[in-house]
Amino acid sequence: MEEIVKTIASALGPGKIQKKPFEDAFLTQDLSVMEIDSFLINLCMEAACVKELLSIPWVCEGGLVENMELVVEEYRQTRRLLPIRLCVLGPPAVGKSSLSQHICDHYKLHHISLKDVISETISQLEETVKNEDPEADTEDSATEVQELLDGLKDSLENNGGHLDDQLLVKVMKNKLMSNPCRNQGFVLDGFPKTYEQAKALFSVEEEESEERTSKLPPHNEKIIPGFVLTLDASDAFLKDRVMNLPERLVEEKNYQQEHFLQQLARYRADNLLDTTVLNYFDELDIMLLHMEITSSDDPDCLLLMHKIKETVGPSRNYGPSSQEVEEEERQRTEERMMQEAQEKAEKEQREAQEAMQRAALWEEWRRRLEEGRQQEEELLEAQSLPMRNYLMEHVMPTLSQGLIQCCTVKPHDPVDFLAEYLLKNNPRNY
């Protein structure tokens, strides 16, 4: 069983296993009780008896360990766990890296760029040389590692930070042949650049080439891209985009004016040759998807991704584990709760603002009503002033005397007495 597990780990992972007590199986959420019980079965039988009693066509007579690659391939085909391999090509600053990263995020693929692969390879080689076991019988391999490391550093130093094609193809091919790239898939960012590089990168060994029956040119089907995306844009658009890039990105991408113009001219010259890198993929009947870039806006990028999704199709990669599903569900729950809390806070803020607006409008209405009442009183006061003055000057003195006289005489009919008094003593003799 240990050999089988090691072989599976080597075919689908880094090849390392970890021994754990059987009780830990009950703590694994991905395993059901029936699956755990099946691990306890100790089925022993003679292989000769099985072969004689069961007349079936054997596929892996040598066992799982010897035929693990065949079993893994059958498992992938049956479960449709097929790696997605893409190649994104185009002139400098057209947006290859950004689009490649979007594709990797959507399909859960590995982003393969020249700079990252070279740095990663040098770091791994330095770590291997540093942690070399002096007692281990690996003198030849250690020497090869040191020679490769020295060759990479010398090539970078002699070629102004670039590798020669032979070393570059070797480093990239080793990366593409790694288990993560072969199992999950990858997006090859801006490489290969020429027909010769493509032919060397995807070449196969002579033994494998002789076994092939396809009419297509020999190529390594394990790493050959299934889709090639070619981005293009006008030189004026690319120059304008570089001019508007932040200085940090210009330094990181080596897009200084002189270097960028040289890269652009080299790309245009390579694509004017009789045999370009696109001719190589066309000879292998690989789907070529050409995209013209005319804007840097987000809607255009979303439109490109939509077109790519329609061409490539749905993801065909391994599904998430139960822990990843729970984590994703937890994140969705947290996002939903945060959104609900935000909506509630916005609603409360909106209601508070509406209440403040209503209070302000009510206060404004009361103020205007009070101002109108005061203006009306002032107007009435102003209109009644002449009449009041007239009464005080011409009517009230005589009326007051009449009332005093009425109180003195005490007539039987005070009203009639007062009326006669006012007629007799009218100051104007009306």
- Going by C-alpha positions, the residue among 220, 279, 257 that lies closest to residue 89 is 279
What are 160's two structure tokens?
């102004």
Spatial separation of the C-alpha atoms in residues 76 and 310, rounded to whole Å: 23
Written as one string, the DSSP assignment of 185-246 is EEEEES---SHHHHHHHT---HHHHHH---SSPP--TTT--SEEEEEE--HHHHHHHHHTS-
pLDDT of residue 414: 87
Share of the chain above pLDDT 70, in %: 87
* Residues 23-53 pLDDT 10s: 776 677 677 778 777 777 776 666 666 667 7
Which letter, b or e, does each residue of 240-250 get, where b requires 16 or more Cβ atoms within 10 Å of its Cβ?
ebbeeeeeeeb
Averaged pLDDT for residues 128-148? 70
Which tens digit of pLDDT belongs to each residue from 226-239?
A: 999 999 989 898 88
pLDDT attached to residue 71? 82
Q: Where are the alpha helices (DSSP H) in 292-413?
A: 298-312, 322-390, 396-409
How do residues 248-259 score in pLDDT, each as one tens digit? 888 888 888 888
Nearest-angstrom CA–CA distance, 360 and 401 = 57
Confidence of residue 337 (pLDDT cuts 50, 70, 90): very high
Which residue in 307, 315, 168 sits closest to 230, CA to CA? Answer: 307
Model confidence band, residue 130 (pLDDT cutoffs 50, 70, 90) = confident
Could you please report the per-residue DSSP string of 104-155?
HHHHT-EEEEHHHHHHHHHHHHHHHHHT--TTSS-HHHHHHHHHHHHHHHHH
What's the rounded mean pLDDT across residues 396-408?
88
**Quick one: pLDDT band at residue 306, thresholds 50, 70, 90?**
confident
User: Which amino acid appears at position 116 of this protein?
Assistant: D
- pTM, rounded to two decimals: 0.65
